[in-house]
Structure 1
Amino acid sequence: MSQNALEVKNLTKKIKSKKIVDSVSFSVEKGEIFGLLGPNGAGKTTIIRMIVSLINRTDGEVVINGHHLDQSFAEAMSSLGAIVENPEFYKYMSGYKNLQHYARMAKMKISEERLQEVIKLVALESAIHQKVKTYSLGMRQRLGVAQALLHNPAILILDEPTNGLDPQGIKEFRQYLHDLTTQGISVLVSSHLLAEMQLMCHRFAIIEQGKLIHISTMDETVEEDNEEKREVGFEVDKPEQAISILRNSDIPYEFIQQQHSTLTLKLTKSSIPLINKWLVENEIGVFAITVRKSTLEDRFLEITSPQGGKQQL
């Protein structure tokens, strides 16, 4: 059996003469959360809709848990769970009754034991017998995940799953997804919330104008090399005098700003102790040194918009 829960090979979608998605290839490993990032209109949702067979592919292959979509459609789809749009339920029925309804429609038999298992997995035990109309948006999202997990898929695909959730709901939802990966389930998620994707995903791909332009682990993206410049704040007792003293040093740095008693400089990691030593030796008291770490947003804007990140997410 494949080590990947999902493999996408040269996925292409053409409408008339325009390529909406252009030869996109990536894989999702078992037990990982993989993110699809990109500006609005980049093609993320089109990619997802092709994977789950809501729209036809112009070209390319989709392999789900070792099953080719074109050769073993039923087996491939049985390994897949998805929420492509906001999950819809019968609001006058309880969450439990809704899950029972979907379980009866499934091609495979869903046991009561499995029902209880997914309810516990998404932490809805206390509310599962309440009517769905009483549920918050976050609870409905979790019920949607429970429905998608009923048939025990290898991979869960989510398109903008945290839309409309408040910060607490987003945090809880992220934790549920991480809990799923401990059960061996993989997750493919598309979102424009970069800070949230940084906390959520193990790996990610950036899609721009239908093309895959970058793919890496989250650690590789936000980790900085020792000689890569970063912004560092030095809180000092005599900021104006410190600026004058730094001008006389031969340590390479770029002055960014002074805000109250903090000087922000752009310099390499190896230069931080040298700046600190120079200030102290010149009788400048240094109270704190703060390194601003690169974020996924920084990297995203560097990759997609070399002119300074003017694209609209």
Structure 2
Amino acid sequence: MSNIILSVKDLTKKIKSKTIVDHVSFEVKKGEIFGLLGPNGAGKTTIIRMIVGLINKTAGEVSINGYNLDSKYTQAMNQIGAIVENPEFYNYMSGYKNLLHYKRMSEKDLPNDRIYEVAKLLKIDHALKQKVKTYSLGMRQRLGVAQAILHSPSVLILDEPTNGLDPQGIREFRENLRELTKHGVSILISSHLLSEMELMCDRYAIIEQGKLIHIESMNETTNLEEDLLREVTFTTDDSEQAQKVIKEAKNIPVNVLSPTQISVSITYNEIADMNKLLVENDRKVFEIVFVKKTLEDRFLELTNQSTEVNPL
């Protein structure tokens, strides 16, 4: 079985002479969280709406778990769970009855205990008997996800799902999504919260003016890949002497930041060796810090936007 759950190839949307989405291609792997980033109006929501069949595409192909959206529409749609707008429920009914209503609408024959299964997974099982009008916004969002995964889809698609949530609600929502991936669910998510996407996503794509300009793993962005060079700062007893030791042994550039601090570009696996080198040459090392690039840094770098402008 393929590891690719969602495949988007040359997805294009034109309205008269205007191109809204221009030949966008990407793949989402099983059990990963894949983020769509981009400025307002970049085309993220249009891409999501085409994937879930809410609007027609001009060109391109979408396949979900091997089912082509054009030739096997019903089978493909059965593989998708989605929240594109804010989830809507019958407020006068309990959470359980709302989920029961959606279960009856499903083309799959779902057992009743599936409701309790997804509710427990999303930590709302304690509130199933309460009317939805008593739910907080965070609980509504989780109930929305419960409804979206009730039929055991292969991929969950979310467009700005944390809008309006407080920090605690966002954190809980992130933990819920991570728990879903442990059960094999793939997630495609669009959000304007870069710091949150950094904590949430395994990989991401940047969309600008309808075009996909970059795809990267979050580990690459934050320099967590072991074989990637990263800037590492060493706090020692004497920067000049530490610089001399490294240059003589390694012949690599060393930046002197202060009388006690130097920085070098090395890989993760070389950090311990560098520390050993300094100590063996009678240099005291008090602190080692590697400079971590943020998703916001990478986003602004790739989109050439000023930090004075809200990137999303």
Q: TM-score, normalised by structure 1?
A: 0.83
1:225-256 CA-partner distances (Å, limit 9, x unpaired): 7784636373x78xxxx789899997845567
Distance 1:310 1:267, change over 3 A: farther
What secondary structure sits across from 1:81 in the alignment? strand
The alignment of Structure 1 onto Structure 2 pairs a total of residues equal to 301
- Find the residue that maps to 2:109 and give its secondary structure: coil
Q: 1:268 matched to which residue of 2?
A: 265
Provide the residue aligned with 2:296 in structure 1. 297
2:229 is the alignment partner of 1:232: no
Q: Give, in angstroms, the shift of residue 80 of structure 1.
A: 0.7
Pick closer, same or farther for the CA change 1:130–1:198 going to 2, 3 Å.
same
Q: Report SS of the residue matched to 2:113.
A: helix
Distance 1:142 1:82 in 2: 12
> Do 1:231 and 1:292's aligned partners in 2 also have CA atoms closer than 8 Å?
yes
CA distance in 2 between counterparts of 1:227 and 1:129 reads 51
* Conservation of the 8 A alpha-carbon contact between 1:230 and 1:294: no
Check the 8 A contact 1:227/1:268 in 2, yes or no. no
Closer/same/farther in 2, CA of residues 220 and 291 from structure 1, 3 Å limit: closer
State the alpha-carbon separation in 2 of the partners of residues 35 and 8 from structure 1.
14
- Segment of structure 1 superposing worse, 113-122 or 290-299: 290-299
Residues 1:244 and 1:43: Cα distance change in structure 2 (over 3 Å): same
In structure 2, the residue matched to 1:216 is 216
Aligned-residue RMSD, C-alpha: 3.1
CA contact (8 A) 1:21 1:210 kept: yes
Corresponding residue for residue 130 of structure 1: 130
Deviation for aligned residue 1:9: 0.6
Q: C-alpha distance in 2, partners of 1:227/1:93?
A: 53
Aligned to 1:119: 119
Q: 2:92, 2:221 → 1: CA distance?
A: 46
C-alpha distance 311-246 of structure 1, shift in aligned 2 (>3 A): farther
Q: Equivalences for 1:233-252 in 2 at 5 Å?
A: 234=235, 252=253
Any unmatched runs of 5+ in structure 2? none
Q: Is the 8 A contact 1:229 1:266 kept in 2?
A: no
TM-score calculated relative to the size of structure 2: 0.84
Task: Name the CA distance, whole Å, in 2 between partners of 1:157 and 1:312.
Answer: 22
Percent of counterpart pairs with the same letter? Answer: 59
Please tell me the residue identity of whatever aligns with 2:298.
Answer: R
Measure how far apart 1:142 and its partner are. 0.6
Aligned counterparts of 1:103 and 1:255: Cα–Cα separation in 2: 64
1:124-178, CA deviations, whole angstroms, 9 ceiling, x for partnerless residues? 1111111111111111111000100111111110111112222222222112112
- In structure 2, what residue type is equivalent to 1:230? E
1:172-224 CA distances to partner (integer Å, 9 max, x unpaired)? 21121121112111111111222222221222111111111111222222226
| Contact 2:28 2:186 (8 Å CA) reproduced | yes
Work out the CA distance in 2 between the residues paired with 1:145 and 1:307: 35
What's the offset of the Cα at 1:48?
Answer: 0.3
Amino acid at match of 2:186: S
1:28-55 per-residue CA deviation (whole Å, 9 max, x = no partner) reads 1122211111122211111001101111
